[in-house]
Structure 1
Amino acid sequence: MKRRHILVLCFVLLFSLFGGGSNHRVEASQTSKKKASVKPGVEVLMEDHLDWLEGKRVGLITNPTGVDHELNSTIDLLYEHPDVNLTALFGAEHGIRGDQEAGEYVESYIDEETGLPVYSLYGSTWKPTEEMLEEVDVLLFDIQDIGSNVYTYIYTLGFAMEAAGEMDKELIVLDRPNPIGGERVEGPLRSAEAVSFMGRFLLPVRHGMTPGELATMWNHEYSMGVDLKVAEMKGWKRDMHFDNTGLPWILPSPNIPTQESAYLYAGTELVDDTTLSTGLGTTKPFEQVGAPWIDAEALAEEMKSRELAGVNFRPAYYTPMFGKYEGERVAGVQVHITDPSSINLVALGLHLVDAMRDQNPEEFDMTASYTNLIGDPEVPQMILDDMPVSQIMASWKEEQQEWVSEVRNQYLMYGSYPKGAKPYKKQAVLGIFPLDLTAAPGEPVDLTVKGYDKNGEKMTIAQEEVDWELNGLDGNIENGTFIAGQDGSGIVRAFYEKLKAERPAVISTPLLENIRFGLQSGYSRVVLDLNKTITNYEIERGEDRLFIKVPYGGIQGQLDSNGGTIQINNSPVLSQIDYYTEEDFIVVELHVDGDVAYETPSFSSRIVVDLQH
């Protein structure tokens, strides 16, 4: 009898611990909540700030990293909430499901789970268009960044901010941790000469900021005039790395599978755009680097001898399944993290490049894209000249420190704060529009100032009360219209009450330098290479023609300045391209097959027209 009671008691205890269906799930849920020391922005929004979304149509920019600590996706949390009207989804590079490879063109489509439109921001356009935002009042951004200035998600945020400012939409950043910490800042401040999609704003390689802090800084420093809110995390500190947060790790992109690869990326990515491999195509991307011509044993010994803090090295051999050196045996090193808090990632990357180049200078080379990667146009030549890493790093130290103290540290939202820095307090913000202020000599550009006060309320600005100032520019501003003078660059400043905004401006004649054609799967691409980025071109449809017209322009470069014709033989929808000038316009005439549909993806310094087959 006693034995039977004991067996029953054991069964009850086991059932209470491991059975009980939903009760067990509740207990597990409560346990996981206790373990999570950091509450991400999406949870803060859902618990404290749903009033921000009340009565508004919501668009969400996200990917698989947009989850709460129980792995519920932000898409589901918003879509299933009775008080949230989610109307559109937006995908960055790799798409909202994370199933697209790096650099792969991402199409727009309808999401099977929700029936909502999914608009690609890494395809035909990088910036949400007016059509995409037609059913959106407020844009949310919820994507995990990894702390490097060449990781594209933060620039998707920047483009979304531009669209929000231009179209009077609200933007809310659901903040997430910087997984490599928020204390260290490393690398050169990006030069204006090295601006591209992967580096649209002037940041150092390792910026030590969160997406919410970056957005706040850009809104003020670039006078973007966005109605911006940040759902700040709770519990995050600047000295935390991702494994300190208690949050689940979701790979942010296909080639960042682990926390280690995310941590090392800001350093070992500097091996890219050379004849060296970053380990792409293996299970350890950005953790192992090398080349077919490297002596792995010697490299490991050399890297150990450099006594870099926080890391150790071992010889490594791998065969990439795709990408650079696909199918070839690559020798190099695997980087092992011993103390993440003490690693200088930029120094690590440059030392790896230096050591591997020294092994075989004849095999080492770098592409022109390395300038965009490192952000400083002088560094590639320093590397090729075998300048010591310490001297290379010293070359940017003063400018970096000035940016940190004068700019970055003014917008930090989380402690512990650097010496002399204070928590960011909400401030009024002004924006000058258009955001891309370029003009040809004699061209008029209408300027507008928008702003929000420190409480986030839109300011009613009488445009005639705005005072304007030109610095370094030839021209004048009359009644809010800028009349461009001679070629040059400078600053346009606006003053309203006690607030100031400024916008870089360039005056130059648009020049058509080349016309290129490419046949793609599903479309024929026509590319007009220009000397600068322009947005004020027009496309007019005629009978079996598309006319691309660029005002105030001329023709030079590889093209005949008097005009010419390019025959196209392999396109099903395009037979010929004519180019010429007419009055003050560059005209490119596409001979097309009837009423062909077309798209115009956005790229810097070019006009792209994709003719659909």
Structure 2
Amino acid sequence: METGLDVFLDRSISKFKDANIGLVTNSTGINRELRMNIDLFLEKGLKVTKLFGPEHGVFGAAPDGAKVTDFIDPRYKIPVYSLYGDNLRPTKEMLEGIDVMIYDIQDVGLRFYTYIYTMAYCMEECAKYGIKFVVLDRPNPLCAEIVEGPTIKKDFESFVGGYGLALRYGLTIGELALYLNNEYNMGVNLTVIPMRNYKRSFFYDETELLWNTPSPNLPSLEHTILYIGMCLFEGVNVSVGRGTVHPFRYIGAPWIDSKKLYEELKKFNHQGVTFRERIFVPAAFKLQNQVCNGLEFFVTDKKKIKPLDLAIDVIATLRKIHSESFQWNDYFHDQSPRYYFDLLIGSDYYRKAIEEGATSKDFESIWQEESEEFLKISKKYWLY
């Protein structure tokens, strides 16, 4: 299998020999031999004049949520602009002198992953100034056949949710760019360089590519599969294992009775996953240096597991058995206090329903209807 980067270098590079290129990338911008895109571009004689980095920076090393600053790259002697600092969008000054912007970042196929909004904002700004936009396509590691979960509602759009997306949207990053450009009338001069020998049924471990760690807290495909649902714990007062060796495989807090939680969760009989009681101490982030009682999850069948249902049921159980300690996290968005859980899941309906005793089974018909509706729209942009 060849990524869009491999195909671009092999077949499309001559079209860009005379262009001044702005490259939006990070440490995932590698070819099959694990070589960085910028090195390969410069070797081929392309003029990369500016670099742009999303959350975690161009080296993928900055912590979750940390602002990243601009700098001059000491190796390439070119400016590196952060799109996760003072600016989430490239400014007119940043874009000056650029003929084409190339986006080459590994996605994970989930609505709350911030890289996709960096791409969307770059597309919108390039459209304003007549700059061509090229996306080098990469696999959806969670397979591009599955659309799952609720769609984002307009009143709950943020940098972790927008553009009418289903939570698990079942598109490659190139297909997503086509969807954004057409469904939201961005008007950018867009080119997508497709992959070769890719099947949308592939999970990442079926591509024969080495795992391309997309961000610091997704060290494996298993962690990424669990992230589909466990990211929702960012919206409650529970550690999701950030600051441990297994982010999104662990959940816990000092106040949790892990034995009771384990027993209650077993009753749901979730498929494709097993779990055990686990005590851990996060070295950073939420509940740093505190002993957390909770659970550790193991994916036993990546095609049967429903991480979103699993996460909802854990949250509902915690609220039921620890109503005195469980809390929803506030999040200040556009100067107004909001619940972060609502922004992640796309509506305040689910939080309110859980408070009334709902579990995942109460949401299944809604999710199925919304995901099927999104699939009808997004299927027009399938490339594979």
Alignment TM-score, normalising by the size of structure 1: 0.60
CA distance in 1, matches of 2:225, 2:14: 36
**Corresponding letter in the other structure for 1:301:** E
Residue of 35, 39, 44 corresponding to 1:81: 44
Residue of 215, 218, 221 corresponding to 2:180: 218
* Residue in structure 2 matched with residue 408 of structure 1 by the alignment: 378
**Corresponding letter in the other structure for 1:65:** T
Residue of 349, 360, 363 corresponding to 1:378: 349
After superposition, residues 286-325 of structure 1 pair within 5 angstroms as: 286-325=248-287
CA distance in 2, matches of 1:331, 1:312: 17
Q: CA deviation at 1:231?
A: 0.9
* Residue in structure 1 matched with residue 333 of structure 2 by the alignment: none
After superposition, residues 347-362 of structure 1 pair within 5 angstroms as: 347-362=309-324
Q: CA deviation at 1:353?
A: 1.0
Q: CA deviation at 1:388?
A: 2.8
Deviations along 1:10-44, one digit per CA (max 9) or x if unpaired, are: xxxxxxxxxxxxxxxxxxxxxxxxxxxx2111000
Number of aligned residue pairs? 375
* 2:28 maps to 1:65: yes
CA distance in 1, matches of 2:160, 2:100: 25
Residue of 341, 362, 368 corresponding to 1:397: 368
* 2:62 maps to 1:92: no
Cα distance change, pair 58–280 in 1 and its aligned pair in 2 (3 A): same
Contact persistence 1:180–1:242 (CA under 8 A) = yes
After superposition, residues 98-117 of structure 1 pair within 5 angstroms as: 98-117=60-79
* 2:162 maps to 1:200: yes
Contact persistence 1:147–1:266 (CA under 8 A) = no
Contact persistence 2:319–2:326 (CA under 8 A) = yes
* Residue in structure 1 matched with residue 358 of structure 2 by the alignment: 387
**Corresponding letter in the other structure for 2:138:** R
Q: CA deviation at 1:295?
A: 2.2
Contact persistence 2:137–2:192 (CA under 8 A) = yes
* Residue in structure 2 matched with residue 417 of structure 1 by the alignment: none
Deviations along 1:489-548, one digit per CA (max 9) or x if unpaired, are: xxxxxxxxxxxxxxxxxxxxxxxxxxxxxxxxxxxxxxxxxxxxxxxxxxxxxxxxxxxx
CA RMSD of aligned residues (A): 1.3
CA distance in 2, matches of 1:399, 1:357: 26
- The higher relative CO (CA closer than 8 Å, separation ≥ 6) is in 2
Deviations along 1:194-221, one digit per CA (max 9) or x if unpaired, are: 1011113211111111110110011110
**Corresponding letter in the other structure for 2:145:** E
Kindly name which structure, 1 or 2, has the bigger radius of gyration based on alpha carbons.
Answer: 1
Identity %: 38
Local SS of the residue matching 1:342? coil
CA distance in 2, matches of 1:291, 1:96: 33
Deviations along 1:37-95, one digit per CA (max 9) or x if unpaired, are: x211100000011133131111100000110111100111112212x111111011111
CA distance in 2, matches of 1:135, 1:114: 17
Contact persistence 2:235–2:340 (CA under 8 A) = yes
After superposition, residues 141-180 of structure 1 pair within 5 angstroms as: 141-180=103-142
* Residue in structure 2 matched with residue 55 of structure 1 by the alignment: 18
**Corresponding letter in the other structure for 1:411:** Y
Deviating above 4 A after TM superposition, structure 1's stretches of 4 or more consecutive aligned residues are none
Contact persistence 1:193–1:377 (CA under 8 A) = no
Q: CA deviation at 1:300?
A: 2.6
Contact persistence 1:182–1:210 (CA under 8 A) = yes
CA distance in 2, matches of 1:351, 1:234: 39
Any unmatched runs of 5+ in structure 1? 1-37, 415-613
**Corresponding letter in the other structure for 2:361:** S
Q: CA deviation at 1:395?
A: 3.1
After superposition, residues 183-582 of structure 1 pair within 5 angstroms as: 183-367=145-329, 368-405=339-376, 407-414=377-384
CA distance in 1, matches of 2:84, 2:286: 23
CA distance in 1, matches of 2:216, 2:320: 32
Contact persistence 1:292–1:329 (CA under 8 A) = yes
Contact persistence 2:89–2:125 (CA under 8 A) = yes
CA distance in 1, matches of 2:171, 2:374: 13
CA distance in 1, matches of 2:155, 2:299: 34
* 2:91 maps to 1:129: yes
Q: Counting helix residues as a fraction of each chain, which structure ranks higher? A: 2
Contact persistence 2:145–2:200 (CA under 8 A) = yes
Local SS of the residue matching 1:233? coil
Q: Counting strand residues as a fraction of each chain, which structure ranks higher? A: 1
